[in-house]
Amino acid sequence: MAAVDPSDAAAVGQAVATWAAAHLGGPVAVAEPPAPLSGGFDSHLHSLRLAGERLPPDWRGPLVVRVLPTPDRQAQAEQEAAVQAWASARGYATPTVLAVIGPDGPVGRPTQVMQRLPGGTLLQAVTARPWQARRQLRRLAVLARRLHSLPVDGWPGPAEPGALVSQRLHLPRTVADRTGDLGLTAALARVDALDPVELVGGPAVVCHGDFHPLNVMVDGDREWVLDWTDAALGPPEGDVARTLLLLGVVAPIAASSAVERLALRAAGPWMARAYRRAYEARTPLDPGRLRRWEALHALHGWAQVVMLHDGGFAGSSSADGREDAVPLALAEVLQARVEAALAG
């Protein structure tokens, strides 16, 4: 069976309808034209609505289809669904993954079908009402502390010491090998030389791995955390440092207008400080470990920028014009953050 073009929302929607008809016991049709969604770094996201008398209730509402770029990512798709189900079972709100379709299915790539949530992202809530930004950042910090306080029994994701470190360094290693970027290679060697105890000492908690306002959906008082691809057990500083870097440096990339971009660039450092204060109001962090983790996350972001401007990876959506929105100069900013964090 030939794979469909993962960027073609109509073709992906019809392929999922074909799979649903074969697996859910009756004819299934596409109820309204699917449309591409933004937000997937290296995957394709599409909205979808299906119709059919035999569809279970959860399948009748708005859906999101996430197509991963390569067939070898099936294990990742299944593990991510298991992590979300684990978190949801413990009262931590995530979107429900209704199905994980294998690369041998009609889409031709690992595909997740999940609920489409109401509302908007927490970043949209901040930019729509900037006078409420502090309250929304406290809300984000409360969500992070709740996640980090979950008991880890039965955790289905990576649990070995250093799993979060390995995940954060996988992309820099891949990009350094592919591009031969000398600066990235040298920085990677310095990070590899860090004492593991400086990174992963202390009790491990559930870390989301990419916790930021674009990965939190809000609708009134309700909230859900998205995108658990990088979730693993690790120190809370690993999660918090990622959020601080994204708030302080990278947030303007997500802006929907030039005015919003300027505002986020100016407010980014303030948002990072406000988030850290809100988190540490109840849970203190190790400042040295936080700096080391900033180096890892800045190195990862640096590698992402280099990858985008080198054409992305085969089968990925990561270079679909996004290099225009992510300036190459950001690599220099992130390189400086790596050097400053390692020197601190």
- Note the pLDDT tens digit of each residue in 228-243: 999 999 999 999 999 9
- Note the pLDDT tens digit of each residue in 6-59: 999 999 999 999 999 999 988 999 999 999 997 766 789 999 999 999 899 999
Count of CB atoms situated within 10 Å of the CB of 59: 20
In this predicted structure, what is the pLDDT of residue 319? 44
Show the tokens assigned to 177: 């090998």
In this predicted structure, what is the pLDDT of residue 170? 93
* Residues facing residue 115 across a β-bridge: 63
In this predicted structure, what is the pLDDT of residue 262? 67
Which residue ranges of the chain lie beneath pLDDT 70?
1-2, 40-41, 250-263, 312-325
* DSSP for 170-211, written as a single string: HHHHHHHHHH--HHHHHHHHHHHTS-HHHHH-S--EEE-SS-
Hey, CA dihedral for 120, 121, 127, 130, is it positive or negative? positive
| Closest to 301 (Cα-Cα) out of 245, 226, 219 | 245
Show the tokens assigned to 297: 């996350």
| pTM assigned to the model | 0.90
The residues, any chain, with a CB within 8 Å of residue 272's CB and separated by 6 or more, are 243, 244, 245, 247, 248
Helix, strand, coil percentages (3-state) for the chain, rounded to 5, are 55, 15, 35
Three-state DSSP state, 64: strand
